Structure 1
């Protein structure tokens, strides 16, 4: 029996035909893991948005980037209750699942790209401080960058929408183990959507740290060095595992009885998805509340 035949049979079978112990363990993990992320992320990002509203008349280009980051994170956070509910009360595999998966990843990459834009902006301000004071239309440029990020991600989600169609799913949030993302889509995600932002963020953050340590010793600038370092670590730790998991799952050998088999690579993917979502709990604190005093 070929892989497509197995996928078809699997799609017609109810969710309770999976290995009971494995399903219960995964469900318990996701409930315990995503619940605190939702609670903390929700209150942190709502607080950030309220703070933005209170200072809306004095927004700068930095505030626009921060607002975009908070919106992306909050949108991802608001989709988590569906995932928490699905752990014990499986949602039917419909287009709603495709939409929820798209929302999750669109906002994850929106957060990544906005973080990268903030890193570039911060580097330019530190590297060219005098020129930065006289830059015109900075707020318009920031708003344009944010709009381009959203338009690009929505367009890509539409083009590759079939990657998460219901017939490719085992549960509402879980792909069939023998049906990984296509190689073309993985290359786009890993080498473009992840690698370029990562390299850009590493370069800009390292340059900011070097410049601040070289030209300033004030307490405020030392604090910024610590914040930039922490932001870079969070970026790498949160987003690297899931992109490694995409590649590993594509090349793993899937047995014919994959419905009842525990696959470490697949478990790694599930855990790495949770790790990436935890970034929503750090963004608003590290970028908005701490950097607000420096750039306003």
Structure 2
């Protein structure tokens, strides 16, 4: 997240406290991010042998989060020292934004994959496969690397991780649409539809009810974490564009950038440690569908009086 370079904080004491909070948050995120993602890498490469769509997406998510984590110490150092845009700054900026954007879109891909597997299980064999998931992730990496590299290396800002004032507001709003609004819309729609389908299965008294209920909780957690991490940064950037920066906006954007970076830690709980549930769940859901269809057929075959009584 870039922060405006013309924020007018009048209180030096307040600015010092903001920098201390920011520095502490980045170190906190770095420590737990390394811990959780190292554990995730160990689980996926040493404990899980079968390649599935979920495993392909989540491994790409792990690597994207790891790259974000690796940039955090450099980001804290560059921001703390108000470093100018040298080669190190450009490298760290490019790495950070590429992997943050890849992480956001892989989360969207995971939600789409769940939607197809659960809402359209018969079509899932056509649209879902580990090779297709790998191809989609590869195209995402290439497109994001090209786009982000061109944009960041053309930046005219003087300080590292600072907003380029030469960029038109309309272009910033367009970027915000593709970076946040579109992924959020995908995640919200897919999560809502999947939750509706899962809750209908809960009414069938199926033996897989506990697994289904756990899957519902995981989807809620995914959506909440995405909102907590990225929604404040979105509104902070929106306020920066609309209000053309005031003192409070600078503070808000700095803290919101830390919240966005914390997503690389929270992904561990939402996706890595929950991956086993969603690797097994697509095989459970068709059973639920067949059971519901049998119940509907049995109800239709009953005499009208029996249906009224029930």
Bin of the TM-score, shorter chain as denominator length: 0.7 to 0.9
Distance 2:218 2:39 in 1: 20
How far apart are 1:116 and its partner, in Å? 0.3
In structure 1, what is the equivalent of residue 306 of structure 2? none
- The answer to whether the 8 A contact 1:120-1:204 is kept is yes
Under a length normalisation based on structure 1, what TM-score does the superposition of the two structures give?
0.82
Q: Which residue of 2 aligns with 1:196?
A: 182
Cα deviation for residue 55 of structure 1 reads 4.3
2:137 match:
146
SS in 2 for 1:160: helix
Match of 1:226 in 2: 217
1:286 aligned residue (259, 267, 270): 270
Distance 1:164 1:269, change over 3 A: farther
How far residue 151 of structure 1 moved from its aligned partner, in angstroms, is 1.2
| Residue-by-residue CA offset, 1:67-106 (whole Å, 9 max, x unaligned) | 0111111100110011233354454431321221222221
Match status 1:263 vs 2:247: yes
Partner of 2:150: 159
Give the structure-2-normalised TM-score. Answer: 0.79
* Counterpart for residue 67 of structure 2: 75
2: distance between equivalents of 1:101 and 1:78?
12
Partners of 1:92 and 1:25 lie apart in 2 by 22
Question: Bigger shift: 49-58 or 35-44?
Answer: 49-58
Aligned to 1:208: 194
| Counterpart check, 1:38 vs 2:9 | no
Distance (whole Å) between structure 1 residues aligned to residue 80 and residue 187 of structure 2: 38
SS of 1:58's partner is coil
**Residue 162 of structure 2 corresponds to which residue in structure 1?**
174
**1:69–1:114 Cα contact (<8 Å) kept:** yes
**Aligned-pair RMSD on alpha carbons?**
2.4
Shift of 1:180: 6.9
Q: Which has the larger radius of gyration?
A: 2
Q: 1:94-173, aligned counterparts within 5 Å?
A: 94-132=86-124, 134-135=125-126, 138-162=129-153, 164-165=155-156, 168-170=157-159, 172-173=160-161
Q: Distance in 1 between matches of 2:154 and 2:17?
A: 26
Structure 1 residues 40, 180: closer, same or farther in 2, change over 3 A? farther
- Hey, what's the Cα distance between the residues in 2 that align with 1:20 and 1:86? 19
Q: Gaps spanning 5+ residues in structure 1: where?
A: 1-6, 11-17, 255-261
**Cα displacement (A) at 1:224:** 0.6
Deviation sequence 1:252-281 (CA, Å, 0-9, x none): 245xxxxxxx71111111111111111111
Q: Which runs of 5+ in 2 are unaligned?
A: 281-310
Q: How many matched pairs?
A: 268
SS at match of 1:129: coil
* Cα deviation 1:147-169 (Å, max 9, x = unaligned): 1111121121133125644xx13
2-structure distance, mates of 1:52, 1:293: 14
Q: Which residue of 2 aligns with 1:13?
A: none
The answer to whether the Cα contact below 8 Å between 2:32 and 2:265 also exists between their aligned partners in 1 is yes
Q: CA deviation at 1:61?
A: 1.2
Q: 1:65 to 1:159 in 2, by over 3 A?
A: same
SS at 2:161 equivalent:
coil
Structure 1 CA distance, aligned partners of 2:142 and 2:174?
A: 16
Q: Is the 8 A contact 1:79 1:100 kept in 2?
A: yes
Report the Cα distance in structure 1 between the residues aligned to 2:244 and 2:253, rounded to whole angstroms: 15
